[in-house]
Chains A and B, each alone.
Chain A
Amino acid sequence: MAMDDDLFEKLKILSDAAKYDVSCVSSGVERKNNTVGGIGNAPAAGICHAWSSDGRCISLLKILLTNDCIYDCKYCLNRVTNPIKRATFTPEEVAELTIQFYRRNYIEGLFLSSAVEKSPDHTMENIYRVLELLRYKYNFWGYVHVKIIPGASPLLVKKTGMLADRVSVNIELPTKESLSLLAPQKRVENILQPMSLIHNEIAGAIEDKRHFKNAMRFVPGGQSTQMIIGATPDTDKTILDLSQNLYDKFRMKRVFFSAYIPVMSSPNLPALSTMPPLLREHRLYQADWLMRFYYFNSSDLFTENEPNLDLEFDPKLMYALRNIDKYPIEINKASYEELLRIPGLGVTSAQRIIRERKNAQISYDSLKKMRTVLKRAKYFITVKGKYYGNVKLDPEAIKAQIRMKEIQRQISIFELL
């Protein structure tokens, strides 16, 4: 590879264009380096390698193959009518960069996305070419996540899935209406078709694996998708109902949310001065977490007249306040699922409690020693029958107490200064 100024320029343009993509996860695949001359492996837990100044983890080399796009999506910097610098990597350049970064332990692998250059098939073909180079020329067995381009031929999608660890088709916006408003050339069918194809192929590969030891793998890390939050008036309920559907129907590994950062003005978009809705995005992720690991359903999170998540308090706390009759929960008797419904109490704490309970009743003190965060939890539990909340078990009283503690905390920080 000619490592010259041209490459710096390309990397600049094509990493800048990719950075708004949220996913950078390298988890979910366990693979040893088993080929002769091979480089790379994949530990199941994933590894973060660096953290940029926005605090986001860098796990993969996240770049676009090209930012040269035939589409004109309103929310996107790369839209054809936007007069920006364009650049295109050759597949060889991407493969070589990946290998050189990987050898130095900068990254776990590659996350390759692309604008749609010439046609979906042309673009998909080039993405596949990168995978082919990495896997067969360089014998690279680190993590690779690639974008599936909606509208690409099913055969190409299948070939790609056989070499990638994870693939994603971006759903972009949570409703058909929003999509036709902001991305008139993208069609819902073109997004859902490859998702469904990938889902079926994964299911098939898992079935084969049960019968044949050396069955072909198909995206072992599963598929994910992403949508933009705050570019359209869609509610949190719409967003999370859709996510729930994607988890249930397509066995999606992750649904990512990306707070819309105003990059251009259009009558259909929020004003340029709008701040990205980061807190809302954070609440959506908390809710998403509840759905994936805490046995919550999207319907648990909303009421008929409130289709949006509360910004002041987190979704689990809000759930508990709305269902206060189900609390307090006795730490020494509750099932695992019940423990997970206690605000502030996570999976690790719940598992630890279950384990510790086998020996003896748990005391409030041992909860503290387990490093259980009791700041929120104490209002919703009893320990050996005793309630430690120091406040009436009433939603408004608990809210007031939490607010007061927060003010006290801020004052004490202020006094430290």
Chain B
Amino acid sequence: MVDYLYDGTFEGLMTCIYHHYKKERAAGIYEMSNYQQSLAYPSEIVETDILKAKTVSDAINSKISKEAYISVYYCYLSNDANKENIILEFLIFAFKYGKNTMNFYTHEKVLPVNEIYKRVAREEHRVLGILRFSDIGGILYAKYSPDNDISVLLADHFADRYKYEKFIIFDEKRKKAVVYADNVWEIKENINIDNVEFSSNEDMIHRLWKQYFTDLAIKERKNIKLQFQFAPARYRKNMTEFI
């Protein structure tokens, strides 16, 4: 058995799964940059191979289910420290049980994937609502720092919504951004965006929104705790109404 090390991409992770079946069984899968050499197993760096990755992805979709594939993908996007091994264990189980896999909701190999999927999906849905754009010279710009790496999940929604606009969604934690213009979006890695300059009437619209946001609350029903449940403190630094 061997510890496989991958480059952090989904295709890389899928290539490791390929090697687990075709080459040598995996003791574990780890991202190269934060791997600590174990005493028990040798390690091997896996070169990402798009075709091998596709073989695995297709197999998950056809032999297990679309639902399983989506769960694995969401799990990969999560910030869970042990996600690669959770995915590995899940897939070993799932390729045995095939189409019936997702009915084992609480099985110890399936439950962790389900729970992580739920967490990521919940954040995705929340961010669809709380992402805040500002106009910077005709381009819509939003900055956020999500718990999970969900930028790729947001792109389609906003590309449809703001089809004839240009926009940038910047994940300041991971230094990556979705950049959209003319019906195409792409993910840019290792970038930094600071000192953005707002358009001239941006301040006015921010103030209108803040005033509306404040006035809308019914004081007889005040419930700050509930408000924090829905809009947790860690997201507020990028929400116009709280700045």
**A39-47, A190-198, A224-232, A382-390: which one contacts chain B?**
A39-47
B233 CB–A CB distance under 8 Å: no
Secondary structure of the B contact surface, majority rule: helix
Assess A54 versus B164: contact at CB under 8 Å? Given A15-B212, A104-B133, A356-B106: no
Q: Within A312-363, which residues are at the interface with B (CB < 8 Å)? A: 352, 355-356, 358-359
CA distance A142 to B216 in the complex (A): 21
Q: Within A34-58, which residues are at the interface with B (CB < 8 Å)? A: 37-41, 43, 45, 47-58
Which of B106, B164, B205, B215 lies in contact with A12, CB distance below 8 A? B215
A-B contact pairs, 6 of them (CB 8 A): A50-B241, A55-B229, A57-B230, A58-B213, A104-B133, A276-B221
Query: Smallest CB–CB gap between A102 and chain B, Å?
Result: 9
B161 CB–A CB distance under 8 Å: yes
CB closest residue in chain B, given A1: B201
**Cβ contacts under 8 Å, B162 to chain A:** 39, 103
**Cβ contacts under 8 Å, B106 to chain A:** 356, 366, 369-370
Query: Smallest CB–CB gap between A409 and chain B, Å?
Result: 16
Q: What is the interface residue range for chain A against chain B?
A: 35 or more
CB closest residue in chain B, given A363: B106
Does the CB pair A50–B161 fall under 8 Å?
A: no
Which of A33, A50, A105 lies in contact with B142, CB distance below 8 A? A105
Does the CB pair B220–A62 fall under 8 Å?
A: no
Does the CB pair A3–B140 fall under 8 Å?
A: no
By Cβ-Cβ distance, the 10 closest A-B pairs, closest first, are: A55-B226, A55-B223, A52-B217, A54-B221, A369-B106, A51-B230, A53-B217, A49-B129, A366-B106, A104-B133
Q: Which of A32, A43, A52, A276 has the most CB of B within 10 A?
A: A52
Assess A106 versus B132: contact at CB under 8 Å? Given A62-B216, A359-B104: yes
Assess A278 versus B215: contact at CB under 8 Å? Given A55-B226, A97-B208: no
Does the CB pair B163–A39 fall under 8 Å?
A: yes
CB closest residue in chain B, given A104: B133
Query: Smallest CB–CB gap between B84 and chain A, Å?
Result: 23
Does the CB pair A50–B223 fall under 8 Å?
A: no
Q: Per-position contact with A for B133-170: 1 when CB-CB < 8 Å, else 0?
A: 11100001010000000000000011011111100000
B100 CB–A CB distance under 8 Å: yes
**Cβ contacts under 8 Å, B229 to chain A:** 55
Which of A7, A51, A52, A358 lies in contact with B208, CB distance below 8 A? A7
A261 CB–B CB distance under 8 Å: yes
A101 CB–B CB distance under 8 Å: yes
B193 CB–A CB distance under 8 Å: no
A61 CB–B CB distance under 8 Å: yes
A interface, CB within 8 angstroms of B: 3, 7-8, 11-12, 15-16, 19-20, 32-33, 37-41, 43, 45, 47-59, 61-62, 97, 100-101, 103-106, 142, 261, 275-276, 278, 352, 355-356, 358-359, 366, 369-370
Does the CB pair A55–B134 fall under 8 Å?
A: no
Does the CB pair A39–B129 fall under 8 Å?
A: no
B22 CB–A CB distance under 8 Å: no
CA distance A328 to B122 in the complex (A): 34
Does the CB pair A51–B231 fall under 8 Å?
A: yes
B34 CB–A CB distance under 8 Å: no
**Cβ contacts under 8 Å, B125 to chain A:** 45, 47
Does the CB pair B215–A16 fall under 8 Å?
A: yes
Interface size on B, residues (CB 8 A): 54
Does the CB pair B132–A3 fall under 8 Å?
A: no
Does the CB pair A103–B216 fall under 8 Å?
A: no
Q: Per-position contact with A for B94-130: 1 when CB-CB < 8 Å, else 0?
A: 0000001001111000010000000000000100111
CB closest residue in chain B, given A16: B215
Further 6 A-B residue pairs, CB within 8 A, beyond A39-B162, A105-B129: A47-B128, A50-B129, A50-B130, A53-B222, A55-B221, A101-B205
**Cβ contacts under 8 Å, B129 to chain A:** 47-50, 59, 105
Query: Smallest CB–CB gap between B126 and chain A, Å?
Result: 8
CA distance A47 to B230 in the complex (A): 12
Does the CB pair B224–A53 fall under 8 Å?
A: yes
Does the CB pair B103–A104 fall under 8 Å?
A: no
B209 CB–A CB distance under 8 Å: yes
Q: Per-position contact with A for B193-233: 1 when CB-CB < 8 Å, else 0?
A: 00000000100110111011111111111111111011100
Which of B103, B135, B163 lies in contact with A103, CB distance below 8 A? B135
**Cβ contacts under 8 Å, B132 to chain A:** 104-106
CB closest residue in chain B, given A141: B161
Q: Per-position contact with A for B162-194: 1 when CB-CB < 8 Å, else 0?
A: 111100000000000000000000000000000
B131 CB–A CB distance under 8 Å: yes
**Cβ contacts under 8 Å, A48 to chain B:** 129, 230
Query: Smallest CB–CB gap between B162 and chain A, Å?
Result: 7
Assess A38 versus B163: contact at CB under 8 Å? Given A52-B217, A105-B133, A356-B105: yes
Query: Smallest CB–CB gap between A58 and chain B, Å?
Result: 6
CA distance A54 to B213 in the complex (A): 11
CA distance A38 to B230 in the complex (A): 31
Query: Smallest CB–CB gap between B185 and chain A, Å?
Result: 14
CA distance A155 to B216 in the complex (A): 33
Query: Smallest CB–CB gap between B182 and chain A, Å?
Result: 13
**Cβ contacts under 8 Å, A105 to chain B:** 129, 131-133, 142, 158
CA distance A275 to B221 in the complex (A): 10
B46 CB–A CB distance under 8 Å: no
Query: Smallest CB–CB gap between A190 and chain B, Å?
Result: 28
CA distance A80 to B222 in the complex (A): 29
Assess A8 versus B163: contact at CB under 8 Å? Given A19-B216, A51-B226: no
**Cβ contacts under 8 Å, B160 to chain A:** 32-33, 41
Does the CB pair A261–B212 fall under 8 Å?
A: no
Does the CB pair B230–A20 fall under 8 Å?
A: no
Does the CB pair A37–B161 fall under 8 Å?
A: no
**Cβ contacts under 8 Å, A19 to chain B:** 215-218
**Cβ contacts under 8 Å, B230 to chain A:** 48, 51, 55, 57
**Cβ contacts under 8 Å, A12 to chain B:** 211, 215
Does the CB pair A355–B223 fall under 8 Å?
A: no
CA distance A45 to B103 in the complex (A): 24
